[in-house]
Amino acid sequence: MNIRHVSKGWRTERGAGRPPLGFCVNGACGARWTRLLLMRTQDNHRWQATKMLVELLLFAVLVFLLWKTFRKPPGLPPGRWGLPLVGYIPWTSKSFEEQVMDLHEQYGDVFLWRMGTQLMMFLKDYKLVKEAYSRFDFIDRPNWETFKTFEETPHGVATSNGLLWHNNRRFTLRQLRDLGMGKSSMVGAVQHQGLKLRETIAEKAGTPGMIPHQLHVTVLNVIWHMVASRQFDAEDKMLQEFLKLMEDFVLISNRLAIKDFLPWLENIMPDFLFKRLIKYHGTKDLKDKFIRYFTDEIEEHKATLDPDNPRDLIDSYLLEMEDKKDDPETTCSEWDLIFLMFDMFFAGSETTVNTFTWLCCYLAAHPQVQRKMHTEIDEVLPNGALPTLAEKPRMPYTEAVINEVMRVCSLVNFGLQHMAASDTQLGGYTIPKGAVVSATVTSIHYDCRYWDRPKEFKPERWLDKNGKFFIPKEGFLPFGLGKRVCVGESLARMELFILTTMVFQSFSIAPPPGKSVNLTPDLSGFFFRKAMPNEFVFTAREQ
């Protein structure tokens, strides 16, 4: 081979990637370079293939993780799963209760709704609710800030758990039995407040107006009598401040639900901004004011305590503390007493006031029912005699009216929530630990399986063929069910019976001329189905 020819060839083909002349002898370098180039090309293809395989694998892992995150675990009830962290967010103008009703129509007696990070289960069937609330699996309350109000552990009886709840419930039931529930002192206190309410109504008789503010004073004074042996006039500055505190606390504490359902916001927002969002300082300020009120009462009781003659719940609790100070299982403390008082006022006043307001609405809207009740009251309590619990068995229709009002108004529309303490089964579904369970009380109270023509206001459904009052065994749960049934049920029933009888012994009620009663519930709140604002005319009856 001519070397110059080869060299010239290399110069003309240098750009093609051939090796320099010194490496090319008798053409052997061409084959070798071709093999090297081929091997490099194959290596490049293998690298590209490997890279693509890794990318596909990573994409598959990502898809799997997203699927696992978005996928509803097997075995759970049907319902709305939504997105991680935020859950299912409906885009609708309907109220929360209306949405729950719609979901029951779609999914049946049991469905779930993931709200933020909370897994909520809603039960529509009475038997299923009774089963759940009778089991220790569902005895606890959720660990919500709404229930704790910035306490490490919830106190009192309504929202506490474990031994603390057990001890407080046992104590409260005993005190309600010993201090009230038919005792002459308690009945006398309710009668006294009923007379005050009648006097206030008489002052405005014949004039259209709202249910008088004295109703709140009446109910609060009954609780003050039982808790602290105190009574207040409506004009009392302390009582007015206390009522304002209660109203403000109910409104502002709703913001705590943000912390319960979207807890991760606290980790990504500046502390001052998150506290502003949940109205931390406003809620804490109101809570501290309540604590000061109750602390003053406790200190006053400690200074005047007679161990041989306990006057009220505070006295009895202080004696319980002393009696059990060496008991290793005691949970008694002054701090716990404060929150027990807190429970008594909130649970005992709001429910009774709103139920009586609903009763006025339904009687004004159904004059024929009102006339029958008037007739019964006049027969059993002639000449204006004051009612006691002794007359209750002889007034079945009045009892029927009160219970029918509790059914149709379904005041506490979802009850107080329960929580699954561990993974368990209910209604054929898996209920995971931490899931929150609510009874859809309104749906149960309007369930055709338990009530004939449930949308009708019909007190007669509570009377047997002999005209005697009876409570159906199923389908009715205004005070809850199971192990955490309301401890104040007997007190609430006594108050409603005596106040209803006393007021309508002296007055009839009707809407203003030319107007009708609005029986549509106010569904703007989460915990209560309050009555819409209505004006009434109370008219004095001739005795």
Q: Between 334-365 and 280-304, two packed helices, what is the crossing angle to 10 degrees?
A: 110
CA-wise closest residue to 390 among 182, 180, 186, 178: 182
Judge whether 199 and 366 are in contact, CB under 8 Å. no
Structure tokens at 320: 């319980």
pLDDT value for 284: 94
In a domain, 187, yes or no: yes
Residues 48 and 140 in one domain: no
pLDDT value for 399: 97
Query: What is the rounded distance in angstroms from the CA atom of residue 295 to the CA atom of residue 302?
Result: 10
* pLDDT grade for 57, boundaries at 50, 70 and 90: confident
CA-wise closest residue to 441 among 477, 409, 471: 477
| pLDDT tens by residue, 207-228 | 999 999 999 999 999 999 999 9
pLDDT value for 329: 87
In a domain, 246, yes or no: yes
Q: Which of 45-54, 65-74, 165-174 has the highest mean pLDDT?
A: 165-174
Residues 132 and 253 in one domain: yes
What distance, in Å, lies between the first and last C-alpha atoms of the chain? 141
pLDDT value for 67: 55
Per-residue pLDDT, averaged over 50-69, amounts to 69
Per-residue pLDDT, averaged over 365-381, amounts to 97
Give the angle 242-200-294 at the CA atoms, nearest 5°. Answer: 15
Per-residue pLDDT, averaged over 387-401, amounts to 95
Residues 108 and 33 in one domain: no
Give burial (CB, 10 Å; 0-12/13-18/19+) of 436.
buried
What are the phi and psi torsion angles at 424 (to 5°)?
A: -150, 180
Residues 392 and 519 in one domain: yes
Q: Between 214-228 and 237-252, two packed helices, what is the crossing angle to 10 degrees?
A: 100
Residues 34 and 141 in one domain: no
Residue 3 has pLDDT above 60, yes or no: no
Per-residue pLDDT, averaged over 70-94, amounts to 88
CB atoms closer than 10 angstroms to residue 151: 15
pLDDT value for 472: 87
Judge whether 105 and 388 are in contact, CB under 8 Å. no
Query: What is the rounded distance in angstroms from the CA atom of residue 23 to the CA atom of residue 171?
Result: 103
Judge whether 411 and 106 are in contact, CB under 8 Å. no
Per-residue pLDDT, averaged over 402-410, amounts to 97
| pLDDT tens by residue, 340-357 | 999 999 888 889 999 999
Strands of the sheet containing 118-123, edge to edge, are 79-80, 110-115, 118-123, 436-439, 418-419
Judge whether 538 and 204 are in contact, CB under 8 Å. yes
Query: What is the rounded distance in angstroms from the CA atom of residue 194 to the CA atom of residue 219?
Result: 9
Alpha carbon separation from 346 to 121, 417, 455, 495 (Å, rounded):
26, 16, 30, 15
pLDDT value for 50: 79
In a domain, 76, yes or no: no
pLDDT value for 58: 75
Residues 324 and 395 in one domain: yes
In a domain, 84, yes or no: no
Q: Which of 171-175, 394-398, 417-421, 525-529 has the lowest mean pLDDT?
A: 525-529
Residue-number span of the structural domain to which 38 is assigned: 3-70
Structure tokens at 84: 């991680």
pLDDT value for 13: 45
Structure tokens at 196: 């005050």
pLDDT value for 11: 46
Give the angle 389-395-539 at the CA atoms, nearest 5°. Answer: 100
Alpha carbon separation from 321 to 106, 168, 191, 332, 341 (Å, rounded):
52, 12, 32, 5, 15
Residues 106 and 182 in one domain: yes
Residues 44 and 177 in one domain: no
Of the residues 70, 104, 121, the one at which a domain ends = 70
Per-residue pLDDT, averaged over 134-155, amounts to 93
* pLDDT grade for 263, boundaries at 50, 70 and 90: very high
In a domain, 32, yes or no: yes
Residues 41 and 124 in one domain: no
Query: How, if at all, do strands 110-115 and 79-80 pair?
Result: parallel
Return the CATH number at 345: 1.10.630.10
In a domain, 146, yes or no: yes
* pLDDT grade for 54, boundaries at 50, 70 and 90: confident
486 is in an annotated binding site: yes
In a domain, 214, yes or no: yes
pLDDT value for 181: 59
In a domain, 507, yes or no: yes
| pLDDT tens by residue, 188-203 | 999 999 999 999 999 9
Residues 382 and 481 in one domain: yes
pLDDT value for 66: 58
Percentage of the chain modeled with pLDDT above 90: 72
Rg (CA), the chain: 35
* pLDDT grade for 7, boundaries at 50, 70 and 90: very low
Per-residue pLDDT, averaged over 232-250, amounts to 89
Residues 229 and 263 in one domain: yes
- Across the chain, mean pLDDT equals 89
* pLDDT grade for 384, boundaries at 50, 70 and 90: confident
* pLDDT grade for 473, boundaries at 50, 70 and 90: confident
Of the residues 29, 55, 70, the one at which a domain ends = 70
Per-residue pLDDT, averaged over 510-520, amounts to 96
| DSSP assignments along 300-330, one per residue | HHHHH--TTS--SHHHHHHHHHHHTTT-TT-
Query: What is the rounded distance in angstroms from the CA atom of residue 376 to the CA atom of residue 524?
Result: 37
Residue 26 has pLDDT above 80, yes or no: no
Kindly state the DSSP code that residue 89 receives in the 8-state scheme. -
Q: Which of 19-23, 99-103, 106-110, 506-510 has the lowest mean pLDDT?
A: 19-23
Enclosing H/E stretch for 46: helix 28-70
Give the angle 395-399-403 at the CA atoms, nearest 5°. Answer: 170
Residue 312: partners with Cβ closer than 8 Å, 6 or more residues away: 179, 225, 226, 227, 228, 229, 301
Number of folded domains that form the chain: 2
Residue 313 has pLDDT above 50, yes or no: yes
Give burial (CB, 10 Å; 0-12/13-18/19+) of 389.
middle
pLDDT value for 513: 94
| pLDDT tens by residue, 424-456 | 999 999 999 999 999 999 999 999 999 999 999
Residues 293 and 370 in one domain: yes
Query: What is the rounded distance in angstroms from the CA atom of residue 504 to the CA atom of residue 485?
Result: 30
